[in-house]
Amino acid sequence: MSLTKLTTWNVKGINNIVKRRKILSSLKKEGAHIAFLQETHLSDFEHAKLRRDWLDQVFYSSFNSKSRGVAILLHKRLPFTLEKCYKDSEGRYVIISGLLYGEKLILGCIYSPNTFEASFYSKLIAPELDQNPDK
């Protein structure tokens, strides 16, 4: 297994094509294999453009073009095989599970509400997200 570089970034909106390309260029320049983006402010359609510009796997949850939105970007050379993807309809989280270098892996990008909301956190630990193979 080789080293994998992860980065997380609150991008505060990437609807602007120039800003989106600068951010993607920066991620590529720093050698990010996995990038977690918060506050993408992208629609489903715009997230598809993000996939095109990144050139590989993009998993996301959208809300609208003015707020929220999260994404996980995986580098094209990363040998990741997706098993499941969970996301909410409010652009707050996306959680993926799969195999990376033959090892089971769960990755999540979460943009939590500014105030504590117990219902939000209970969704994150819901039984359908339990991926423990020992049970």
CATH number for the domain spanning 107: value is: 3.60.10.10
The H or E element containing residue 107 is strand 103-110
Structure confidence at residue 133 as a pLDDT band (50, 70, 90) = very low
Binding residues for Mg(2+): 10, 39
The DSSP letter of residue 16 is S
The predicted-structure confidence for 96-105, as pLDDT tens digits, reads as follows 999 999 999 9
Instruction: Assess if residue 39 is contained within a domain.
Output: yes
Cα–Cα distances (Å) from 86 to 12, 15, 18, 78, in that order, read: 23, 23, 30, 20
Mean pLDDT of the chain: 88
Q: How far apart are CA 76 and CA 6, in angstroms?
A: 14
Binding residues: 10, 39
Q: How many domains does the chain have?
A: 1
The predicted-structure confidence for 11-33, as pLDDT tens digits, reads as follows 999 989 899 999 999 999 999 99
Enter the tokens of residue 54.
């990144």
Instruction: Assess if residue 135 is contained within a domain.
Output: no
pLDDT at 131: 52
Enter the tokens of residue 43.
């629609």
Q: Domain span at residue 73?
A: 6-129
Query: What is the three-class DSSP state of 85?
Result: strand
Instruction: Assess if residue 64 is contained within a domain.
Output: yes
pLDDT at 135: 38
The predicted-structure confidence for 31-79, as pLDDT tens digits, reads as follows 999 999 999 999 888 888 888 877 789 999 998 878 899 999 999 889 9
